[in-house]
Amino acid sequence: MLISNFFEKKFLFVKMSRNPISVLQEFLQKNCYALPKYDVITTSSANCSFTYRVVCEIRSQSFSATGESKSKQTAKFNAAENLIMLLKSKNFNIFYELENIEPSDNDSPSSILNGVNFIGKLQEQCLKHRYVMPCYSEGVYSQGHSDFKITCTVGTYRVEGTSNGKKKQAKYACAKKMLEDLENMSEAQKLQYQIRDNTVQCVTKSSKDEMNTTTCTSKELSIDSPEKTSYVIKKALTLFPKLSKAHTLSVDSAKIKLSTYHTYFKSSLDNSQLTKFFEFYQTLNLHQIQNDISKLSSALHEICTILKINKQESVVKTVDDTNYGVVITLTTNPEFSDVAVADNYPEARLNVHYRMIRTIFYLLI
């Protein structure tokens, strides 16, 4: 689903406060989505003592961002702010602006270009180019408390900003310098300093094991993006017989726009089914059972019984590494699937059950 299209006509005006945690929470509540989840993912690093990750789910899509600081509250604050900037970059109508910082008397005229907020500009550039989000240190005073120094880190690259005792000015100068350095940095340097936020892409693979799948290797399943499209087609045709043995193929159904799929799914159910589903869902505490596969499996089974739909579970694995993928397909109209990949089968199965329960909920609200 194109998330931006979902919000085209749904504008949310949030009375601006200086607290991005509150702004994010208001946005999700007003649009009937689950509240964001904050987790401490590390308590030590070279520059920051605490790193928070905040995650929110919007119509079965998960968005996350991190924030770092020596203070737990500030780290949480930064995580919420970074997530807001991410949602804004995806065309969500969440109204929040970073605080503009006025320059000090000692700042040079070149430090401001038409009132540009370089802190916000840096975050936008990192999101646009898929860089690691910037991390700011708490800063320290130097020279008898006359100057304030603060550092900004993107990847492993660090710059320093100073001001005449004002933290905000130091952060402003620091962001400006980092932005300038990134613009002038070569691709080799970006690779050296781990500037880009590279995520590992999961590839569905299969092997011969106790679950009666076929044998493939990771190399066989890889497609390198060659110049000639004919090569890709030829490679896909060689993979199809192997993959089709591991998955039941059905006749392609009538085409439905992804942006309107939830309406078709919901309209296929009667009011009594929807009522029973939401009553059952309210009794679930997914946060407490998210690590219990037996309870998650029972919950999904009960949901399928209420909605009168069947589910099919399959597993794929490679012979040359330890990656597992578990796929759950629901026989709705049309069918839809969810998948989770992990380095062991129990974890992958646990994750896909949790994801599927949440997906059904978001499709029906």
Average of per-residue pLDDT across 281-290? 85
Handedness of CA 45, 48, 50, 53 (dihedral sign): negative
Report residue 210's pLDDT band, with 50, 70 and 90 as the boundaries. very low
Q: Looking at residue 13, what is its pLDDT?
A: 38
Average of per-residue pLDDT across 303-325? 80
More confident residue, 274 or 241: 274
C-alpha 193/C-alpha 190 separation (Å) is 5
More confident residue, 282 or 117: 282
For residue 23, pLDDT over 50 is answered with yes
Q: In terms of Cα–Cα distance, which of 78, 193, 55 is closest to 137?
A: 78
Cα-based distances in Å from 314 to 181, 206, 298, 345: 48, 10, 17, 11
Q: Looking at residue 169, what is its pLDDT?
A: 81
Span 213-257, pLDDT tens digits = 444 554 444 445 445 566 666 677 677 666 666 555 555 555 666
C-alpha 257/C-alpha 269 separation (Å) is 19
- DSSP-assigned letters across all residues of 103-124: PPTTS-GGG-STT--HHHHHHH
Average of per-residue pLDDT across 352-358? 89
**What are the tokens at 243?**
């993959």
Span 109-122, pLDDT tens digits = 334 434 567 888 88
134 within 8 A of 54, measured Cβ to Cβ = no
- DSSP-assigned letters across all residues of 27-40: HHHHTT-PPPEEEE
First to last CA, the chain: 15
Q: What's the whole-number average pLDDT of the chain?
A: 73
Instruction: State how far Cα 177 lies from the chain centre.
Output: 28
247: DSSP letter: S
Span 114-164, pLDDT tens digits = 456 788 888 888 878 888 888 887 677 665 556 788 888 898 899 998 887
Q: Looking at residue 203, what is its pLDDT?
A: 36
More confident residue, 108 or 86: 86
Q: Looking at residue 298, what is its pLDDT?
A: 92
Q: Looking at residue 159, what is its pLDDT?
A: 93
Q: Looking at residue 166, what is its pLDDT?
A: 73
For residue 302, pLDDT over 90 is answered with yes
Q: Looking at residue 181, what is its pLDDT?
A: 93
For residue 100, pLDDT over 60 is answered with no
Span 53-85, pLDDT tens digits = 788 887 777 888 888 777 777 778 888 888 888
356 within 8 A of 284, measured Cβ to Cβ = no
Average of per-residue pLDDT across 300-319? 85
C-alpha 355/C-alpha 365 separation (Å) is 16
Find the farthest-apart pair of alpha carbons in the chain and give their distance in angstroms, rounded. Answer: 76
Average of per-residue pLDDT across 7-27? 59
Amino acid at 342: A
Q: Looking at residue 306, what is its pLDDT?
A: 92
Q: In terms of Cα–Cα distance, which of 17, 21, 75 is closest to 44?
A: 75
3-class state of residue 50 by DSSP: strand
Phi and psi, residue 281, nearest 5°: -60, -35
For residue 102, pLDDT over 50 is answered with no
Span 254-268, pLDDT tens digits = 566 666 777 778 888
Q: Looking at residue 265, what is its pLDDT?
A: 81
